[in-house]
Amino acid sequence: TALPGTVARSWARSRDAGLRPWQTAYYEMQRDPGSVGESRADRRLHRCVVHEIEQLWAAFGGTNSTIFCVNPGGTIVHARRSPHCDDALLTPIVAGRRVVEPNIGTTAPSCVIHDGVETFVVGAQHYLDEFSRVFCLAVPLVGFDGEVIGALDITGIGQRNAMQLREQFRHASLSAEQRIYAMLRDCHLLHVQYDPRWLGTPLAGVVAIDEAGRVRAASRLARQMLDLTPDGPLAPLDCRQLFADATPAQQRRLMQPARTPQRIARSDGSHVWVRCLRAPLDRAAARRQPGAFEDADELCPTARTDPHASLHEQ
Do residues 146 and 140 touch, judged by C-beta distance below 8 A? no
Using DSSP's 3-state secondary structure scheme, residue 43 falls into helix
- Indicate the pLDDT class of residue 134, thresholds 50, 70 and 90: very high
Q: What share of the chain is helix, strand, coil (3-state, %, to 5)?
A: 35, 25, 45
Q: Cα(30)–Cα(149) distance, rounded to whole angstroms?
A: 18
* Mean pLDDT for the stretch of residues 36-41: 71
Vertex 233 angle, CA 232 and 235, to 5°: 120
DSSP 269: S
* Annotation: CATH topology of 5-181: Beta-Lactamase (3.30.450)
Residues whose CB is less than 8 angstroms from the CB of residue 241 and which lie 6 or more positions away in sequence, other chains included = none
User: Residue 282: its pLDDT value, please?
Assistant: 76
Residues whose CB is less than 8 angstroms from the CB of residue 240 and which lie 6 or more positions away in sequence, other chains included = 213, 246, 251, 254
* Mean pLDDT for the stretch of residues 237-264: 94
- Indicate the pLDDT class of residue 293, thresholds 50, 70 and 90: low
Task: Count other C-beta atoms under 10 Å from residue 124's C-beta.
Answer: 13
Vertex 178 angle, CA 175 and 179, to 5°: 90
Q: What percent of the chain has pLDDT over 90?
A: 79
Using DSSP's 3-state secondary structure scheme, residue 247 falls into coil
DSSP letters spanning 68-136: EEE-TTSBEEEEEE-TT---TTTTT--TTEE--HHHH---HHHHHHHH-S-EEEEGGGSSSGGGTTEEE
pLDDT in tens, 255-266: 999 999 999 999
User: Residue 48: its pLDDT value, please?
Assistant: 95
The backbone region for 107, taken as left when phi is positive above 0, alpha when psi lies in -120 to 50, beta otherwise, is beta
Whole-angstrom CA distances from 207 to 2, 19, 95, 126, 152 are: 41, 43, 31, 38, 23
Residue 47 predicted with pLDDT over 80: yes
Segment among 167-176, 213-222, 289-298 with least mean pLDDT: 289-298
Residue 30 predicted with pLDDT over 80: no
Give me the residue spans of the domains in the chain. Answer: 5-181, 184-304
User: Residue 310: its pLDDT value, please?
Assistant: 39
pLDDT in tens, 64-111: 999 999 999 999 999 999 999 999 999 999 999 999 999 999 999 999
